[in-house]
Structure 1
Amino acid sequence: MTQPINTWFVEHLGDCDIHSIWLNDHRPEHMPCLEIRRLDWAHAACEARRLGMRLVALWGAEAGCHDRDAHAMYAYMAFAHPEHRHTLLRTPLAAENPELPSISGHYIAACRMERHMQDMFGIHITDIPDPRPWIKHEHWPREAYPLRVDFDARPPLLAEAHGDYDYVRSGSEGVYEIPVGPVHAGIIEPGHFRFLAVGEHILNMEERLGYVHKGIERAMQSKSAEEGLKVASRISGDSTVAHAWAFAQACEYAGQIDVPRRASFIRAILCERERIANHIGDIGAVCNDAAFAFMLHQMHRLREDMARLHLELFGHRLLMNTLIPGGVLVDLGERAIGLLREQTLAIANEVEHLRAIYADHPSIQGRVIGSGMVPVEDAQDIGLLGYVGRASGHYPDERIEEAYAPYDELEVNVPQGKLGDVATRVWVRFEEIAESSRLISELLEKMPEGPIVANWLPPEPGVSGFAAIEGWRGEIAAWVRFGEGGQIDRCFVRDPSVINWLGLELAVREVPVPDFPLNNKSFNCSYSGNDL
């Protein structure tokens, strides 16, 4: 096998006496997957942290039919470095009573991913700082592990009651609990927030999610790449393009399919449009939570204009079913290019005008400046992603670090905030709207001629692919392994919200209770993206 480009981390592992084996059934080669011993698991994570690598994801997967031991189980972790791209590590686990040491001492964000592995696979994580169930709620049977191959999803689960979730509590006089949700007053997804407060000031906020768990990873099994892509685009409805792109690229890497340049340009245009539309909507919502309703109405008007043009040109307001394995489904003619160019420029100009109005109103500025601060050190420790990370001095961006097509031909300017408050998170959104508008104009100007789809050929059984795409919330990671007949054998997806939810808990400490909605919307983490 030709040695992949990314050998930097591998050389360091060797220097630390961590034995690793190249896996030749994983793609792409510049993001290799290495098999290490279970006893080296925590040591490898420690070394990755020492080298300044960022934790991308942890997940589990049972062996496929191609493996020598079809009953084996594997644990995976993926890391990224701004100069050396991604590396995946895999370790085999015993089929009976699988066990793995926690790496939460090195990476804070690992804890909830480890809890997910315990819930879904029954992998026992030793020394985990928080062993409570995460996705599985109290009524789930204890021995039901939905992602194991022997789990029968057809009969209804017999509910069991195991008592209440063990929320963090305080015995101090004057500290009281405020339960909020999981059902909310607005038309939003369910999630529970438990506050500890003194007067109006929040001492601690704890999230309880998992109410919209959909079994996405299980639903992907036995589907074709085309069918799986439709599921992926519905993981989180406001990130349709980004999730579809990450999944499609993982499949294309596995199948070693070269996507036509024109198709990659169209994908980027769609993804940047998705970024603009969501930032516009969220800026309006943040202002509305601070009683500045004017901005809400103006921003919703602009977002509606975008949705109507999406419906006209691509057949769907949220751009669903626009990507397919190997390319895109809809081409852009001269008229479509002209309409997109004209609207993108008009919206960018109007957003800048609204930005000046927003900045000139003390009533909104007094609510957002200094509220919900996440310091730079904490943002880097957690690994906050997207606009949330960029507001707090953490700037990973896959469009630059991975430089996948067509961003390998473009210069992407990433806003670099440091104050980490609501005001800075809104500032980053305004900056990203302007930058995405510029990128769309450049993409439309440089649009190459040629086909919009390559012939899709499923890879051999046992081959896996991994991809990371910069969605509007931040990095989306997808891993796909194929089985017999070109069907999906195993799949894993990590939405940026899985990490960013941790930042919200930290941000609202010492914030007045009435300012929680303001902070929550400034993060706007996806419930659905977390509850796969």
Structure 2
Amino acid sequence: MVFSGDQPLHRVLAGLGERVEGHRPFPRFRLHRADWRSMVDELSANRWTLLGLWGEPRTVHVALRADMTGEVAVASMDCTTGGFPSLSTVRPSAIRLERAVQDLYGLVAEGLTDPRPWLDHGTWGTARPLGTAPEPRGTAGQPEPYPVLPVEGHGLHQIPVGPVHAGIIEPGHFRFTANGETVVRLEERLGYVHKGIEGLMAGRPVAEAARLAARISGDSTVAHSLAFARAVEAALGLEPPPRAVWLRALMAELERIANHLGDIGAIANDAAFAFLLAELSQLRERVLRTADACFGHRLMMDRVVPGGVAVDLPEDGARRLLALVDELRRRFPPLVRVYDGKASLQDRTVSTGQVAMGLANRFGAGGFVGRASGRGQDARRSPSYPPYDDLEFEIPVTTEGDVNARVWIRIREVEQSLSLVEQIVKRMPGVPRSQDGSTPLPLAPLPQGSDAGAGEGMALVEGFRGEILTWVRLEPGGTVGRCHPRDPSWFQWPLLEAAIEGNIVADFPLCNKSFNCSYSGHDL
């Protein structure tokens, strides 16, 4: 089937397949194999962005967005033959997601440009553990060697790094191929911290699954919790109390500020300028202590829950938060001037680790990685969600695509988040008092037992790294049938490989920290 180039995403998918009832808030369409191929052809026109791809024992799903209009939809295909046509030829961002689907479910991505295992390192006791026919692997011998990609050329040498690194960072293997000091290829191998999150969530009550969502990536615990909560609420048709909606945004912005402050300092430290790391670490600590005072946890873990929030602000919470905003507005700009005025630091960050706009678009990169390369997507603005549709903020975008650009996007986002925190504190709805004068927690109770309905929901939430997608299917009785959380790092790790090419080996720490992708959020 051929469609004109100006057809809306929903209309195209409706013309290809049948709409599935009970999927909220974005429509889902069931496609046959031929229609799935037509959808892949439409993807080659570069009008849509791949938001996520995930599997079930007999089904594969893909989430898409039309960037010009903000439309979001899901397409699904029943894999009656055990496979599905790969998207990798038109969307390289699908490659690792399809490899993960093959490892977990045994569904073959037909035509996949890189069919090697991804999450499965050969050490699991069972192959295809979430598929229809899990297969015990036995105990014979060591896992098969991972076939790294070949590189040919005169005078090339390889530098293997990891998976075990210095310090406390998580494991990942990086294989550098260099000509002298110049990197000609970087190949990553991840999956070392695979935790089986998707399998652990299946069959659990929503409240237990929410705790798992909060631990997908500790530095994004608020964002992942919010994405899971909003997906569950969409599946149930549940509206959280207005005050809870604003408290969630408050926590999300505090999380964003803390992470950006830490990253800016760490990038400077990797360029041997420890002063900024020391100063910005103090500011980050101020944010974490304020979060602890206001929400009872430095990272605000388990504070966002389906139905609302688990805690409310204390009586002095608003005062503490406004005092934090005032302090950061006073202490942060002088440090920005130090960064911008240090020639030796600029020499290390300007023009280092560039990512072209076209490549960022092809991978659908979001967050500071995408915005530093001219891609201005932000889930708070499109498709948007409350209370951001009632708040004033800008989305900083630049086109240089280098380490320096990624630093400046973080700087501008700190400034915007400080403004958002101030707006939220001053405009947040109050708590309605009950007849006995008490102030109930802003939390809508979830349906329980036989009253708990089934449904499917999906949410897009802006974490500090970029867009988090969470898709959930709830079974009757209130348990999770299937949940797929997609961290922004899935689309950013591959761009790090591109960013380091042509740079010297010594600049990899700078490039790596300027991305600061999550191992844990990726490996699930």
Normalised to the residue count of structure 1, the TM-score between the two structures is 0.92
Partner residue, 1:489:
481
2:37 is the alignment partner of 1:37: no
Partner residue, 1:138:
122
Query: Does structure 1 conserve the Cα–Cα contact (< 8 Å) formed by 2:261 and 2:281?
Result: yes
- Matches of 1:271 and 1:157, distance apart in 2: 45
- Determine which of 394, 398, 409 is the counterpart of 1:428: 409
- Matches of 2:280 and 2:145, distance apart in 1: 41
Query: Cα RMSD (Å) of the superposition?
Result: 1.8
Q: Cα deviations across residues 153-203 of structure 1 (Å, max 9, x unaligned)? A: xx9963653532111232423100000000001210000000000111100
Describe the SS at the equivalent of 1:47: helix
Partner residue, 2:71:
85
- Determine which of 502, 508, 529 is the counterpart of 2:494: 502
Distance apart, 1:151 and its partner CA: 4.2
Q: Cα deviations across residues 375-422 of structure 1 (Å, max 9, x unaligned)? A: 111111111110000000111100000211101111331111100000
- Matches of 2:141 and 2:123, distance apart in 1: 5
- Matches of 2:421 and 2:484, distance apart in 1: 30
Partner residue, 2:437:
none
Query: Where do 1:245-284 residues align within 5 Å?
Result: 245-284=226-265
Aligned partner letter, 1:144: A
Describe the SS at the equivalent of 2:127: coil
Describe the SS at the equivalent of 1:491: strand
Q: Is the alpha carbon distance of 1:146 and 1:461 closer, same or farther for their aligned partners in structure 2, counting shifts above 3 Å?
A: farther
Query: Where do 1:200-349 residues align within 5 Å?
Result: 200-349=181-330
Describe the SS at the equivalent of 2:249: helix
Q: Is the alpha carbon distance of 1:147 and 1:412 closer, same or farther for their aligned partners in structure 2, counting shifts above 3 Å?
A: farther
Q: Is the alpha carbon distance of 1:444 and 1:135 closer, same or farther for their aligned partners in structure 2, counting shifts above 3 Å?
A: same
Q: Cα deviations across residues 299-328 of structure 1 (Å, max 9, x unaligned)? A: 111111211222222121111011121101
- Matches of 1:49 and 1:269, distance apart in 2: 39
Query: Does structure 2 conserve the Cα–Cα contact (< 8 Å) formed by 1:140 and 1:159?
Result: no
Partner residue, 1:378:
359
Q: Cα deviations across residues 454-481 of structure 1 (Å, max 9, x unaligned)? A: 1212686652111110000000000111
Aligned partner letter, 2:71: R
Describe the SS at the equivalent of 2:301: coil
2:164 is the alignment partner of 1:183: yes
Query: Does structure 1 conserve the Cα–Cα contact (< 8 Å) formed by 2:93 and 2:491?
Result: yes
Partner residue, 1:466:
458
Query: Does structure 1 conserve the Cα–Cα contact (< 8 Å) formed by 2:83 and 2:108?
Result: yes
Partner residue, 1:413:
394
- Matches of 2:401 and 2:355, distance apart in 1: 5
Distance apart, 1:502 and its partner CA: 0.9
Partner residue, 2:378:
397
- Deviating above 2 A after TM superposition, structure 1's stretches of 4 or more consecutive aligned residues are 48-51, 138-141, 148-152, 155-163, 169-173, 458-462
- Matches of 1:213 and 1:440, distance apart in 2: 34
- Matches of 2:414 and 2:511, distance apart in 1: 20
2:44 is the alignment partner of 1:59: no
Describe the SS at the equivalent of 2:299: coil
2:99 is the alignment partner of 1:115: yes
Partner residue, 2:435:
none
- Matches of 1:365 and 1:157, distance apart in 2: 54
Query: Does structure 2 conserve the Cα–Cα contact (< 8 Å) formed by 1:140 and 1:157?
Result: no
Query: Where does the alignment leave 5 or more consecutive residues of structure 2 unmatched?
Result: 1-6, 433-441
Moved more, 482-491 or 391-400: 482-491
Describe the SS at the equivalent of 1:109: helix
Q: Is the alpha carbon distance of 1:159 and 1:356 closer, same or farther for their aligned partners in structure 2, counting shifts above 3 Å?
A: farther
Moved more, 445-454 or 469-478: 445-454
Describe the SS at the equivalent of 1:302: helix
Q: Is the alpha carbon distance of 1:441 and 1:202 closer, same or farther for their aligned partners in structure 2, counting shifts above 3 Å?
A: same
- Matches of 2:173 and 2:141, distance apart in 1: 20
- Matches of 2:141 and 2:121, distance apart in 1: 10
Q: Is the alpha carbon distance of 1:374 and 1:167 closer, same or farther for their aligned partners in structure 2, counting shifts above 3 Å?
A: same
- Determine which of 108, 112, 128 is the counterpart of 1:124: 108
Partner residue, 2:438:
none
Query: Does structure 1 conserve the Cα–Cα contact (< 8 Å) formed by 2:235 and 2:454?
Result: no
Distance apart, 1:348 and its partner CA: 3.1
Describe the SS at the equivalent of 2:327: helix
Partner residue, 1:454:
444
Distance apart, 1:138 and its partner CA: 3.4
- Matches of 2:212 and 2:18, distance apart in 1: 33
Aligned partner letter, 1:481: R
Partner residue, 1:148:
131
Aligned partner letter, 1:112: R
Partner residue, 1:10:
10
2:10 is the alignment partner of 1:20: no
Q: How many residues align?
A: 506
Partner residue, 2:439:
none
Describe the SS at the equivalent of 2:384: coil
Q: Is the alpha carbon distance of 1:13 and 1:88 closer, same or farther for their aligned partners in structure 2, counting shifts above 3 Å?
A: closer
Query: Does structure 2 conserve the Cα–Cα contact (< 8 Å) formed by 1:27 and 1:464?
Result: yes
- Matches of 1:318 and 1:156, distance apart in 2: 39
Q: Is the alpha carbon distance of 1:449 and 1:160 closer, same or farther for their aligned partners in structure 2, counting shifts above 3 Å?
A: farther
Distance apart, 1:329 and its partner CA: 1.2
2:411 is the alignment partner of 1:437: no
Aligned partner letter, 1:514: A
Share of identical aligned residues, percent?
A: 42
